[in-house]
Amino acid sequence: MSSLLTLFFAPSFLLFTYFFKFQELVFIYILISLVFLIYAYIKKKKKEDFIIVGIYLVLLLIAYFNNSFEAVKFIPVFSAMTFFAIFLHSVIKKNELIYKFTLRFYKKNLSDAEIIFLKNGDLFWSIAIFIYAIFLLSLVYFASNNIWAFFSSVGWYIYFIVALVIQIIYGKIYAIKMYSK
C-alpha cells in the first residue's frame, strides 16, 4: 500500500495542481491519507504502512496550514529517511532484514558465504537509502517540480534497481569469494 502511495504521489500531486487550488488539493490528499490509515488499521497492516502514511498525513497537514508546496516536497525525503532508519536499526540490532527477506523468496540453499553476505546487506541498503534521501533533499531546494516529481516516484524504483544490481554484482564478483575463504 505504501509503495503505491510512493509511486503515484509526486506526479499525481504535480499534475493535479493544474486543476485544483493548492489547499483544495492538499485537503483531498489528506482525506486519501486518512482512508489509507483506516484501511491499514482494519486490515492490520505492517507498522511501516502506518509510519509512511502518517508521514504523508503530518506533512500534508503542515502544507495545508502553511500553504506550502515545499512541505509537500519533503514527503518523499521523510519517507526515505524512515526506510533509512529501519535499515540502520536493523544494522545496529543485527536483525538481518535482507537475509530474512531473501529467505522468503529464494528457495534454493545458500552457501555459508552467501549467508554472510546477505546478513551484511542491511548496511549497504542503509547507506544506499541515505544517499537517495540526501539526493531527494537537494531536489526540494534545487530542482524543478517536474524533476522532483520524477525522482520522487519513478526515479526511486530506477535507483532501487541500480542499487540492487550493484549489490548483486559486488556479491558475485568480490564479497562471496571473500567470505568463502
Residue 166: its pLDDT value, please?
93
| Per-residue model confidence as pLDDT tens digits over 63-94 | 999 999 989 999 889 888 988 999 999 999 99
- Amino acid in position 121: G
Whether residues 93 and 165 fall in one domain: yes
One domain for residues 8 and 27: yes
Residue 107 scores a pLDDT above 70: yes
Same domain, 181 and 92: yes
| Residue 22 domain boundaries | 1-73
Q: Are residues 104 and 180 in the same domain?
A: yes
Same domain, 60 and 100: no
Give the pLDDT of residue 181. Answer: 64
- Please report where in the chains the cell 529467505 appears, as a residue: 103
What does the alpha-carbon distance between residue 18 and residue 28 come to, in Å, rounded to a whole number?
14
Confidence of residue 31 (pLDDT cuts 50, 70, 90): very high
C-alpha cell read off for 33: 491519507
Total domain count, the chain: 2
Give the mean pLDDT of 40-68: 84
Query: Residues 97, 55: one domain?
Result: no
Q: Which of 51, 73, 95 is the last residue of a domain?
A: 73
Residue 180 has pLDDT above 70, yes or no: no
Q: According to the model, what pLDDT value does residue 22 have?
A: 92
Say if residue 99's pLDDT is above 80.
yes
% of the chain with per-residue pLDDT over 70: 93
Cβ atoms within 10 Å, residue 42:
8
**Residue 131 and residue 102 share a domain:** yes
